[in-house]
Amino acid sequence: MTGQQSRAYSLPRAGLQREGLADARAALAAYEQAIRLRPDYAEAYSNRGNVMCNLGQYEAAIADYDEATRLRPDYAEAYSNRGNAKAAFGLSREAIEDFGLAIQARPDYGVAYFNRGLVKSGLGAYEEAAADFSEAVRLMPEFASAYYEQGIAKAGLGLQQEAVDEFSWAIRLDPRYVEAYNSRGVAQVGLGRFEAAVADFDHAIRLRPEYVEAYNNRGLAKAKLGRHGAALADYDQAIGLEPERVEPFYNRGAAKERQGDYEGAIADYDQAILLQPDDVEAYRNRAVAKAALGRTAEARGDFTAALELVARGG
């Protein structure tokens, strides 16, 4: 299982489409006017910062949030937004501090708990993340994403059944929560409930027919059920939708290998290594496939490469 999951991405995203860029520029111009007329307009600074974030200009965004919080030291939203910008800029620890300031300014600010949980979850601190998501759920009981992220944290802690429960809550609140179906499917696989997992992936694909991760994950679940042909079809679909993703190539190579199609497997591993040159497992599996074909020297080379990568910490 590759564990490929799609997560609700609540941090600011860079790279708007062209139409979005035009609107973002219009928004910036409007905020400029507002600030010109009212230089103490903290909200205008904060919201301009949001636009900067959307445009990927995190440093400028952080400067705006700085100004907003200088003008209004109790401005919880600005602290939280600055935390988002810092997290997107790779400053996770500082981001966590900002979320703390937001919570300090407004102890019932569920969004700040939620955002802090996201950053902690991203750092692998699932225990702390789960605590933050619990608080977010308590403060915002109708916020499906909080349950969903709680599920991710629980899964990270190896608590698959609890994760399934959290994803189910998220789906109850938002029946079109496609990522929740996909993630619950992954948790079901972790619990060995492959049929239930396939059902969840089916649902996710129905909701979003171009959902690459769901195809890949359904292929894995089907492979677990021994339905290798169907699994290959799902991997093909995933590769067709997004040829730059390494996981479907790797998984398809493994499926072909199990079917005895070593040449086909080697071709897929080639692609996987091309896309991700430090993929140890791809080198190892390709070595096995080559050895099965009697290409001993090449197999030895791949093993050596895999070992070197491991030695380098790959």
Which spans of this chain sit near another protein (rule: CB under 8 A)?
8-13, 15-17, 19-24, 26-31, 33-35, 37-38, 41, 43-44, 46-48, 50-51, 53-54, 75-78, 80-81, 84, 111, 114-115, 143-145
Provide, rounded to whole angstroms, the least separation between the CB of residue 275 and another protein.
Answer: 26
Task: Tell me whether residue 27 or residue 60 sits nearer to another protein (CB atom).
Answer: 27
C-alpha 256 chain-centroid distance: 28
Task: Tell me whether residue 84 or residue 182 sits nearer to another protein (CB atom).
Answer: 84
End-to-end CA gap in the chain: 19
Angle formed by the axes of helices 76-88 and 58-71, nearest 10°: 160
Is there a contact between 110 and 143 (Cβ–Cβ < 8 Å)? yes
Task: Tell me whether residue 176 or residue 258 sits nearer to another protein (CB atom).
Answer: 176
Joined together, the tokens standing for residue 292 give 């099965």
Task: Tell me whether residue 147 or residue 249 sits nearer to another protein (CB atom).
Answer: 147
Provide, rounded to whole angstroms, the least separation between the CB of residue 309 and another protein.
Answer: 36
Neighbours of 127 (CB within 10 A): 11
Provide, rounded to whole angstroms, the least separation between the CB of residue 300 and another protein.
Answer: 49
Helix (H) or strand (E) holding 112: helix 110-122
Provide, rounded to whole angstroms, the least separation between the CB of residue 92 and another protein.
Answer: 16
Q: Three-state secondary structure along 190-244?
A: HCCCHHHHHHHHHHHHHHCCCCHHHHHHHHHHHHHCCCHHHHHHHHHHHHHHCCC
Is there a contact between 155 and 182 (Cβ–Cβ < 8 Å)? no
Task: Tell me whether residue 143 or residue 249 sits nearer to another protein (CB atom).
Answer: 143
Provide, rounded to whole angstroms, the least separation between the CB of residue 241 and another protein.
Answer: 19
CA distance 280 to 214: 24
Provide, rounded to whole angstroms, the least separation between the CB of residue 155 and another protein.
Answer: 19
Task: Tell me whether residue 43 or residue 94 sits nearer to another protein (CB atom).
Answer: 43
